[in-house]
Amino acid sequence: MENDKKIELDTSLAKPKKKIGGARPGAGRPKGGTNQVSVNSLLESLEKRTNGKRYEEVLMEDFITARQNNDSQLVIKYHNLILNKLMTHVTKIEVTDSQETIDAKQTAFAEALAKLTGIKSE
């Protein structure tokens, strides 16, 4: 039985099993870390880089430059950007009903509700 020698394998070079899912040491944002970008920090950074000009001023200057350079594609993009921003503030729907209309709507609503619930209105 001299041929039955034990062979020992060096496992230090073997690849470790991969973990699937779960937390990893050192993963994620560190506690107290602030890697989130805020709108205010972006606007402040822009003001610093443009010698104190506000975003709206820079936007309008770029828009005018695009117009002067006859860059129609860029001008269209500026129009869309500006209109999308302005239309939310400009567009208002004003509904005015007379007292007769309000009374008619209340009556119709009460009748419809009575039909659904079976309660008769007096």
Integer Cα distance of 115 and 34 in angstroms: 59
Across residues 79-88, what is the average pLDDT?
80
What is the model's pTM?
0.42
**Burial (Cβ within 10 Å: 0-12, 13-18, ≥19) of residue 47:** middle
pLDDT confidence tier of residue 67, bands split at 50, 70 and 90:
very high
Helix (H) or strand (E) holding 111: helix 99-117
What length is written for the chain?
A: 122
Q: Residue 62: CB partners within 8 Å, gap ≥ 6? A: 78
Contacts of 81 (CB under 8 A, 6+ apart): 59
Where residue 66 falls among pLDDT bands split at 50, 70, 90?
very high
Determine the pLDDT at residue 12.
Answer: 66
At residue 54, what is the residue type? R
Identify the H or E element spanning 110: helix 99-117
Report helix, strand or coil for 47: helix
- pLDDT higher than threshold 90 for residue 70: yes
E strand or H helix at 59, and its extent?
helix 55-68
- Residues 6 or more apart whose CB falls under 8 angstroms from that of 97 comprise 105
Per residue in 6-57, pLDDT (tens digit) is 777 666 666 666 667 777 787 777 777 766 778 888 888 889 999 999 988 9
